[in-house]
């Protein structure tokens, strides 16, 4: 795999491998062989990455959880900011693997050197109708396997999400919700999920706890933080498909879109409600004027 050739300027470079444009990746890289790595997808606006410190913190945690040292945070920050600079809108994907294998097979020598790949993608303007009226969502047939050791990590094995995205009903909806093997509600394919239920005078905001499987998203973390600051009680707990049926509001989050209200869940129509709208309004300044942490 070779990154596209580019001039060595912030505006022109579209990919860096270990900080170098047009560099190659070893055919022995453990990310290629085993998915042995982690990644982050970072929305960048006006040349500035959103919530970069939170992304780098999660990436470092993921590397350590997999048993290898993360690259220096300041180096990663500089490479991401280099690709984002002078771009009005872009998506920067950062992949960090354990690096080229030094022994054959699954075992590691402990002397591998991490590989980092930083790629800039164009980011078209989001459809404002989805933010206002909501997205159409289904429940995927593909379950997520439960493995607490990997829960929360944005590791490079996304085969379950790929299979869920490829289901026959996928084309008719914007996103799909994923259940775990034991039937718990976990997340969307590329989003985290929040439910609002209870009486209007004291609504309850809940999101699945990420302790068995799934990715603990950066925007999920920001929503929980901003809800707490605004006095909106939020709970991380086990949720089930029956909880979807009881929810008066459902919304999805990720680093690119912020908050997507759910306007339709399979055959059921929902209306974005006051909790969703309040959180959207709280997040909007952070999204339009990108903050670091």
Task: Identify the sign of the CA torsion 258, 272, 187, 159.
Answer: negative
Superfamily holding 128-287: D-amino Acid Aminotransferase, subunit A, domain 2 (3.20.10.10)
Q: Which CATH architecture has domain 15-122?
A: 2-Layer Sandwich (3.30)
Contact yes or no for 256/91 (Cβ under 8 A): yes
C-alpha span between 196 and 264 (Å, rounded):
15
Bridge pairing between strands 185-188 and 192-197:
unpaired
Contact yes or no for 67/30 (Cβ under 8 A): no
Predicted confidence pLDDT, tens digits, the chain (293 residues): 333 333 333 444 699 999 999 789 999 999 999 999 999 999 999 999 999 999 999 999 999 999 999 999 999 999 999 999 999 999 999 999 999 999 999 999 999 999 999 999 999 888 989 999 999 999 999 999 999 999 999 999 999 999 999 999 899 999 999 999 999 999 999 999 999 998 888 899 999 999 999 999 999 999 999 999 999 999 999 999 999 999 999 999 999 999 999 999 999 999 999 999 999 999 999 999 888 87
Q: Give Cα separations from 242 to 5, 182, 200, 245, 252 (angstroms).
A: 51, 14, 20, 5, 18
What is the chain's length? 293
Report domain extents, the chain.
Answer: 15-122, 128-287
Residue 189 DSSP class = S
The pTM of this model reads 0.92
3-class SS of residue 279: helix
Q: In sequence order, which residues have a C-beta less than 8 Å from that of residue 125 and are 6 or more positions away?
A: 89
């Amino acid at each position: 795999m070779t990154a596209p050739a580019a001039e060595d300027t912030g505006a022109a470079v579209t990919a860096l491998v270990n900080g170098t444009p047009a560099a190659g990746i070893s055919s022995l890289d453990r990310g290629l062989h085993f998915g042995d790595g982690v990644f982050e997808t970072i929305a960048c606006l006006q040349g500035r990455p959103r919530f970069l410190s939170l992304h780098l913190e999660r990436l470092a945690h993921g590397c350590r959880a997999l048993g290898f040292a993360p690259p220096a945070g300041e180096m990663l920050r500089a490479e991401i900011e280099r690709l984002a600079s002078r771009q009005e809108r872009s998506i920067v994907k950062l992949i960090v693997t354990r690096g080229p294998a030094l022994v054959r097979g699954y075992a590691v020598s402990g002397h591998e050197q991490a590989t980092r790949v930083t790629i800039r993608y164009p980011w078209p303007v989001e459809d404002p109708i989805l933010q206002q009226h909501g997205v159409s969502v289904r429940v995927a047939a593909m379950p997520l396997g439960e493995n607490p050791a990997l829960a929360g990590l944005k590791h490079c094995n996304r085969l379950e999400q790929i299979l869920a995205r490829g289901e026959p009903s996928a084309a008719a909806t914007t996103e799909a919700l994923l259940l775990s093997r034991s039937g718990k509600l976990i997340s969307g394919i590329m989003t985290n999920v929040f439910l609002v239920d209870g009486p209007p005078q004291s609504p309850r905001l809940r999101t699945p706890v990420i302790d068995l499987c799934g990715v603990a998203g950066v925007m999920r973390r920001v929503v929980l933080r901003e809800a707490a600051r605004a006095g909106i009680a939020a709970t991380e707990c086990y949720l089930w498909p029956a909880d979807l049926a009881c929810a008066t509001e459902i919304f999805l989050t990720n680093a690119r879109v912020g908050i997507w209200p759910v306007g339709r869940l399979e055959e059921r129509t929902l209306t974005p409600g006051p909790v969703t709208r309040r959180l959207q309004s709280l997040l909007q300044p952070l999204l339009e004027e990108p903050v670091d942490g």
